[in-house]
Structure 1
Amino acid sequence: MTRRVAAFLLVLAAFMAVEWVNLAVNLADGHPTAFYVVHGVLVGVNLLLALALGIVGWRGWRGGSLTSSAGRADD
């Protein structure tokens, strides 16, 4: 993984986390319970996805810990 791709994943993860937390904070009162359940699930799933992208991006940024050594010229 290149550092450019890793940086993109880190920025995407940060953006997703900020946007979904912002949505969760800004939900207005007065909706039915199902509305809050659905949006709570959406927020939770997207925060988990942001965490996964952040982990992959961080590992890629640190030096390609996720890349396999197969096919590398220096082996």
Structure 2
Amino acid sequence: MTRRVSVFLVALAAFMIFEWINLAFNLADGHETSFYVVHGVLVAVNILLALALGAVGVRGWMRGRA
């Protein structure tokens, strides 16, 4: 994996974490419970995906240095 791809993955992971946490805080009140459950699951899954992408990116960055 090239460093360019590694940097892209880490940047994408940071953006995803920022964006989904921002969405979680900006959810308006007054919706049904199911709305919050579904969006909570979406936020959690996407943050886990972002962490996985970030880990792959960091691993690629470190291997690219050797």
Aligned counterparts, 1:1-75, within 5 A: 1-64=1-64
Question: Which structure is higher in RCO with an 8 Å CA cutoff and minimum separation 6?
Answer: 2
What is the CA distance between 1:53 and its match in structure 2? 0.1
Structure with a larger share of its residues in helix: 2
TM-score norm. by structure 1 comes to 0.83
Gaps of 5+ in 1: 65-75
Aligned length: 64
Question: Partners in 2 of 1:32 and 1:25 — Cα distance?
Answer: 16
TM-score norm. by structure 2 comes to 0.94
**Structural RMSD (CA):** 0.6
Cα deviation code 1:4-58 (max 9, x no counterpart)? 0000000000000000000001111000000000000000000000000000000
Runs of 4+ that moved beyond 6 A: none
Identity of aligned residues (%): 75
State the structure with more CA Rg.
1
